[in-house]
Each structure stands twice: as C-alpha cells, then as structure tokens.
Chain A
Amino acid sequence: MGNSMWQTVAGHPYVGHDHFWQRALSRRQFLGATAAASAAVATSPMWFPALADASGRDPVPIPGGFFPGYHAFLGPGVEPSTIFNYRGTTGVAAVQGTGTGWNTKTEESEPLLFDSDNRFMRGQYIGVDGEEHEGTFGFI
C-alpha cells in the first residue's frame, strides 16, 4: 500500500465521518531522490508527549473516521480536528518541501522531499473524565 493508494482515494467525496477519506492522508514522508550534502546536529532538551494522561484529562477521539478508529480528514469542507467534544481554534496545514538527509555514521547525504500534515487544536474540550478542560494539542 503505497502513495498510489492515497492518490486513488483522493477524489472520493466526503459525506460525514463514516465514509472513506476525501483525499490523501498526507504525512511527513521523505521521498528519495539524488545526492547532495549537508549536516547539522540538534542539541536541546527533549520533550516527551503524554499519550495517556492518568488524570483523565485526555480528550476523546472523534467517533468514526475513514476507518473505524482512524479519524483524520484533510481538505476543504471536512472536519480538521481530531478531538471530540471540542470548541476551539484549529490550524491545519499540509506542506511540501525539500531538504537533506544524511547518515551520521557514513556522512553520506542525499536530497529528500517531504510531505507533511500538521495541525494544532487549542480550546475547551470534555475529557475522558467527563469534565471540561482547556488545552493545546498537536496532530503530527
């Protein structure tokens, strides 16, 4: 199942959560090309996301999706967020571009293409505990 699968379904009309996705689920995808050179090292403290919040403040996923349990739609007219019982501001952006990948062991490098779909959601939501909370979330 490669990119062609996502492209095949790209033109399917979207009518609610229970239907197949409207267009390609764009992900950050590196796509091989030819050679070039570059190098850099990032050094700063790591930040770990909390996938599960024991306090119950986690948001709940939106029911349904392009497959049961997979709710993520991209494009005009479809719901951009991924959390349910939510009221807030959402930013969605599918961005493509270029860059350089390299092997830190061999120092070999190559130019790469990327394809991303990142979003933020900020506002109020009802958590799994049934209480209203405020928070900021990233779809990555």
Chain B
Amino acid sequence: MAPDTHQIHDMSPGIAPSGLFWTVRIPDHWVSVEADDLGEGARYGISNLHLKDYRQLANSLPAFLPPGTKQTPPDASVASFDMRWMGNKGPTSATDSGPNQFTFAGIFTHATMAWSASVPSKHFKFRSDAAHTSHETFAALVNERNGSFFAGEEDQQTGQHG
C-alpha cells in the first residue's frame, strides 16, 4: 500500500477466550475444495457474517497496545465475500519436525476476492470492485497436518494432479 494511506477499518471475529485467533466455525457449504485435486482450485464464500470492526489492526491485538492504552471497543459489522483460488503456480511444502510439528504440501495459486461490508453504527458501507480487479499477494492451497496428526501417518498427498 502507498505510504500515505491510513487504515480506517479492521474487521475480524476477534480472539476467542480460548486463544483461537480470528478463527470461527463456518458452515461446510461455504467452502468448495477437493483435497486430492487442489489444481482444480477452491471457492470460499461467507454471507452476512457478523464481525467486529476494530478500526485499526493494532487495536485488534491488545498485547501490542502501548502501555497504559486501552483497547477501543470494536463496532459491530457484517461482511460477505466470495473468494476463489485458481491456477497452479508451482508446488509448496514445508515440514517442521521440531517442537512445532507441522507438515503441509500443496500448490501456490492465484486468488481473487469480491466482498462487501457494513458498520451500521458508523453509517458505513463498503463494496469492492469486481473480483477480477483484485490480485493476490500470496495464495496457496495445501493439505496439512499438525499436532497429534503430525506423526505416524503416511506421506500426505500433494493434491497436485488433475
């Protein structure tokens, strides 16, 4: 982003009391992907998901607020989006067999997104331009294992055929 820009909204589900970070359960049908054929791409759409607008990234991460600074309460917001992964830009994989224990294999892809959002209390609405005008700075589809699923299994499929 250009250096003279500034952030005015920052939407996320928040951090759960358990520590689950910006992650929520969603209906299965909101995601379409074939684990054994990642080259076919994927689609991920959410519809009117209630989120929180923290206004700025730093305000959504309480641990990074300067000492003595309190988190500004977020505003209720609603967002919908339609994301697509497509193409195969090459393989990607990584394994950390140390204390972190994760492994994944898959492909780098292209990705696009069209979305809309509103913050009713601020009389704010947003709608993105058409998806084809967006561009990824990073996108990948992978099959992954971590934690208790890391060890003792056969090598995972890369999902690159097809």
Q: Which of B60-76 contact A (CB under 8 A)?
A: 60-61, 63-64, 66
Residue of B nearest to A128 (CB): B18
Of B57, B118, B135, chain A has the most CB atoms within 10 Å of the CB of B57
- A65 to B153 alpha-carbon distance, docked (Å): 25
Whether the Cβ atoms of B6 and A104 lie closer than 8 Å is no
Contact with B along A93-123 (1 / 0, CB 8 A): 1111111111111100000111110101111
The answer to the question of A51 belonging to the interface, with a C-beta cut-off of 8 Å to chain B, is: yes
- Interface size class for chain B? 35 or more
Q: A74 to chain B: which residues have CB within 8 Å?
A: 138
Whether the Cβ atoms of A80 and B144 lie closer than 8 Å is yes
Whether the Cβ atoms of B126 and A95 lie closer than 8 Å is no
Number of interface residues of A (CB under 8 A): 97
Q: B64 to chain A: which residues have CB within 8 Å?
A: 1, 67
- A60 to B18 alpha-carbon distance, docked (Å): 7
Q: Which of B99-134 contact A (CB under 8 A)?
A: 99-100, 102, 104, 106, 108-109, 111-113, 115-118, 123-129, 133-134
Please report whether the interface of chain B is mostly helix, strand, loop or mixed according to DSSP: strand
Whether the Cβ atoms of B35 and A89 lie closer than 8 Å is yes
Q: Give chain B nearest CB distance to A97 CB in angstroms.
A: 3
- A29 to B44 alpha-carbon distance, docked (Å): 19
- 19 A/B residue pairs, CB under 8 Å, sorted by A: A1-B58, A40-B116, A47-B50, A51-B20, A58-B18, A59-B23, A62-B146, A71-B21, A83-B23, A90-B143, A91-B140, A93-B111, A93-B139, A96-B136, A104-B118, A106-B123, A138-B25, A140-B23, A140-B46
Given known contacts A41-B125, A61-B23, A122-B33, what 20 new A-B pairs fall within 8 Å (CB)? A1-B57, A2-B7, A32-B6, A33-B5, A47-B48, A49-B49, A49-B50, A51-B14, A60-B18, A65-B21, A69-B21, A79-B100, A79-B102, A87-B149, A90-B106, A96-B135, A105-B123, A136-B26, A138-B46, A140-B12
